[in-house]
C-alpha cells in the first residue's frame, strides 16, 4: 500500500481532517530523529509538542485530550532516568492515543514486555507511518465521547493509512480515575485542613512504612512548604542547600541535578526537603511544579507531596498531578468548614470526589459515645465519607518528631504507627510496578 501524500488525508466526504499528533522529545539527538519522522506526516497535522519531563504532568492535567498518534524520541544518552519516565508517559497515554511510536537511534534496543502494541523503530531513516498497523484495543470502560463519534472521526483521519481489516477502530478511552476507588497511585498529595492536623506526621510516617514494607518500591517524599517546612527536622535531616538553587531556577535543573538535591533516608526512600530560607509563596509557578514533579516521578515509583496549609498559585498543579489527595483533618468544625471553602475556591475538575480522601486524625483510644455521631456530622459538612481514621499516638509522636526520630523507631507498637503500616500496605498494592527497560543505550 502506498502512503498518502502529505495533503491528501481526506474524509469519506472528501474534506481534509487534520491528524492529531502528540510529540515528546528529550535531547538534541532526539530532535533529529523526531524531525525525520515528522517529515512523513501530512502538512495539516495538528501537533502538541512536549518535553519528556513535562509530559506526564501535562497529560494528567489535560485528561480529556485524545490523539491519533503519540511519538516519543527519548534521549539515548540517559541510562537511568529515561526508562522510568518513558513508562509513565506510555501508561498515561495507553488508552488516549490510537498509535504509539518510540524512535530510537540505529542499533539501540528497547524491551517493553507488557506493552506489545507500542511500535519501536530505529533510525533515521524511519519507515512511513503507513507501514505500521494501528492498535485495536478492547475497552472495558465507557469512552469519553460516544462510540460512534470516536470510531468515525479516528477512522477518517487514518483513511488510506490503515489496512481495511483494521477499520473501524475501537474507541479511545481515558484511564479510570485513581483514588479511593482503587486506581493506580503514582502521586499522593497530603493537604492539612487546619493547623496541627498532623499532615507532616502522616506524610513522613506513610513514606517510611511504604519503604520499610517493600524494599523494591522507591518513594520520593517532597516537602512543599516553602516557608516553614519541618519535614527535614522531624527526620533529623539537614536542609539541603541545593534545594534552594532548584527553587530559584527550576528549569535549569535536569534529572541528575534533581537527584543530587535529594537526601536518602532509606535505600529506597529519598527526601526533597524544604528550602533552607523562607521563600515567598509565589517563588514557584504551576508550570515549575509540574516540571519538578516530572523529575520526581522520574526518580521514584511513588511521590508523596507534603503540602502547606496555604493555597498558592501552584496548589492547583499539585492537585492535578495527584492521583489521591489525603485531606488531614481533626474532628472539628474547622476542618469541615475549611474543606468546603477549599472546594468552593477550586473547580470540581481539579478536586473531584474520587480523588479526595478525608483522613481524621487523633481518634481516641476509647472514643466517646458521641464519636460516631460527630463523624457523621463531619461527613455531612464535608459532603464526603471519611476515608481513614488514625488513632491518637499520644505524646510519643511529638516527642519523636522533636528528637528527629521516626515513629517506627521511637515506638514500633504505637497505635498510630500500626495504623500507618496497615494503610501503607493498601497503598503499596496500588502503585504500578516499574520494570526496568532493557536494551542498548537504555
The three-state secondary structure class of 282 is helix
Range of the domain at 45: 20-127
How many angstroms separate the CA atoms of 118 and 70, rounded? 10
Tens of pLDDT, residue by residue over 99-125, are 888 888 887 776 655 565 688 888 888
**CA-closest candidate to residue 199, choices 56, 60, 338:** 338
Per-residue confidence band for 347, with pLDDT thresholds at 50, 70 and 90: confident
Per-residue confidence band for 418, with pLDDT thresholds at 50, 70 and 90: very high
Q: Which residues have a Cβ under 8 Å from the Cβ of 88 and sit 6 or more positions away?
A: 56, 186, 297, 298
Predicted confidence at residue 429, as pLDDT, reads 92
How many angstroms separate the CA atoms of 268 and 110, rounded? 25
Supply 364's cell numbers.
481516641
Q: Of the ranges 195-199, 201-205, 332-336, 400-404, which is most confident?
A: 201-205
Per-residue confidence band for 67, with pLDDT thresholds at 50, 70 and 90: confident
Residues 235, 361, single domain; the answer is yes
Q: Rounded mean pLDDT of the chain?
A: 79
Question: Is the pLDDT score of 49 beyond 60?
Answer: yes
* β partners of residue 222: 272, 305
Its pTM surpasses 0.85: no
What is the rounded radius of gyration, in angstroms, for the C-alpha atoms of the chain?
Answer: 24
Mean predicted confidence (pLDDT) in 228-246: 91
Domain assignment present for 301: yes
Residues 123, 181, single domain; the answer is no
CATH number at residue 42: 3.40.50
Last residue of a domain, one of 94, 127, 160: 127
Q: Give the total number of structural domains in the chain.
A: 2
The angle subtended at Cα 357 by Cα 353 and Cα 362, nearest 5°, is: 145
Residues 207, 311, single domain; the answer is yes
Question: Is the pLDDT score of 137 beyond 50?
Answer: no
Residues 260, 385, single domain; the answer is yes
Per-residue confidence band for 434, with pLDDT thresholds at 50, 70 and 90: low
**CA-closest candidate to residue 84, choices 332, 338, 271, 255:** 255
The angle subtended at Cα 90 by Cα 218 and Cα 174, nearest 5°, is: 110
Per-residue confidence band for 34, with pLDDT thresholds at 50, 70 and 90: confident
Tens of pLDDT, residue by residue over 139-181, are 333 443 433 333 333 334 334 443 333 333 333 333 333 346 5
Residues 107, 203, single domain; the answer is no
Residues 90, 193, single domain; the answer is no
Domain assignment present for 99: yes
Question: Is the pLDDT score of 271 beyond 80?
Answer: yes
Q: Do the bridges between strand 67-73 and strand 356-363 make them parallel or antiparallel, or are there none, so unpaired?
A: unpaired
Domain assignment present for 1: no
CATH number at residue 234: 3.40.50.300
Crossing angle between the packed helical segments 286-299 and 52-61, to the nearest 10 degrees: 110
How many angstroms separate the CA atoms of 210 and 175, rounded? 25
Mean predicted confidence (pLDDT) in 372-377: 91
How many angstroms separate the CA atoms of 248 and 7, rounded? 46
Residues 123, 180, single domain; the answer is no
Residues 61, 182, single domain; the answer is no
Predicted confidence at residue 133, as pLDDT, reads 62
Amino acid at each position: 500500500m502506498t502512503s498518502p501524500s502529505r495533503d491528501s488525508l481526506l474524509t469519506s466526504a472528501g474534506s481534509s481532517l487534520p491528524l492529531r499528533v502528540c510529540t515528546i522529545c528529550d535531547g538534541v539527538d532526539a530532535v533529529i530523529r523526531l524531525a525525520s519522522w515528522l517529515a512523513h506526516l501530512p502538512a495539516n497535522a495538528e501537533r502538541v509538542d512536549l518535553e519528556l519531563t513535562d509530559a506526564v504532568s501535562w497529560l494528567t492535567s489535560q485528561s480529556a485530550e485524545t490523539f491519533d498518534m503519540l511519538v516519543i524520541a527519548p534521549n539515548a544518552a540517559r541510562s537511568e532516568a529515561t526508562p522510568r519516565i518513558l513508562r509513565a508517559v506510555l501508561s498515561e497515554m495507553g488508552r488516549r492515543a490510537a498509535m504509539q511510536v518510540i524512535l530510537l537511534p540505529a542499533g539501540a534496543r528497547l524491551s517493553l514486555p507488557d506493552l506489545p502494541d507500542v511500535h519501536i523503530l530505529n533510525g533515521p531513516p524511519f519507515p512511513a507511518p503507513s507501514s505500521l498497523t494501528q492498535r485495536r484495543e478492547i475497552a472495558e470502560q465507557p469512552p469519553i465521547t460516544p462510540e460512534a463519534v470516536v470510531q468515525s472521526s479516528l477512522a477518517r483521519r487514518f483513511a488510506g493509512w490503515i489496512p481495511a481489516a483494521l477499520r473501524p477502530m475501537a474507541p479511545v478511552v481515558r484511564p479510570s480515575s485513581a483514588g479511593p476507588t482503587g486506581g493506580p497511585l503514582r502521586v499522593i498529595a497530603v493537604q492539612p485542613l487546619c493547623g496541627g492536623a498532623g499532615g507532616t506526621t502522616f506524610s513522613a510516617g506513610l513514606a517510611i512504612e511504604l519503604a520499610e514494607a517493600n524494599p523494591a518500591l522507591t518513594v520520593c517524599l517532597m516537602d512543599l512548604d516553602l516557608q516553614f517546612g519541618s519535614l527535614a527536622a522531624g527526620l533529623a535531616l539537614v536542609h539541603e542547600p541545593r534545594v534552594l538553587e532548584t527553587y530559584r531556577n527550576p528549569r535549569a535543573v535536569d534529572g541528575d541535578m534533581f537527584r543530587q538535591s535529594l537526601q536518602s533516608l532509606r535505600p529506597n526512600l529519598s527526601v526533597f526537603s524544604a528550602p533552607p530560607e523562607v521563600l515567598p509563596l509565589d517563588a514557584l509557578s504551576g508550570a515549575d511544579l509540574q516540571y519538578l514533579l516530572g523529575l520526581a516521578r522520574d526518580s521514584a515509583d511513588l511521590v508523596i507531596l507534603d503540602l502547606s496549609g496555604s493555597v498558592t498559585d501552584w496548589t492547583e498543579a499539585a492537585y492535578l498531578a495527584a492521583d489521591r489527595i489525603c485531606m488531614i483533618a481533626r474532628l472539628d468544625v474547622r476542618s469541615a468548614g475549611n474543606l468546603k471553602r477549599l472546594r468552593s475556591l477550586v473547580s470540581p475538575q481539579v478536586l473531584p470526589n474520587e480523588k479526595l480522601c478525608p483522613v481524621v486524625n487523633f481518634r481516641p483510644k476509647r472514643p466517646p459515645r458521641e464519636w460516631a455521631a460527630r463523624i457523621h456530622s463531619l461527613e455531612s459538612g464535608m459532603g464526603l465519607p471519611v476515608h481513614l481514621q488514625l488513632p491518637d499516638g499520644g505524646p510519643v509522636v511529638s516527642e519523636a518528631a522533636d528528637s528527629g526520630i521516626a515513629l517506627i523507631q521511637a515506638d514500633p507498637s504505637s497505635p498510630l504507627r500500626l495504623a500507618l503500616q496497615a494503610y501503607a500496605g493498601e497503598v503499596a498494592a496500588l502503585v504500578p510496578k516499574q520494570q526496568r527497560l532493557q536494551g542498548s543505550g537504555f
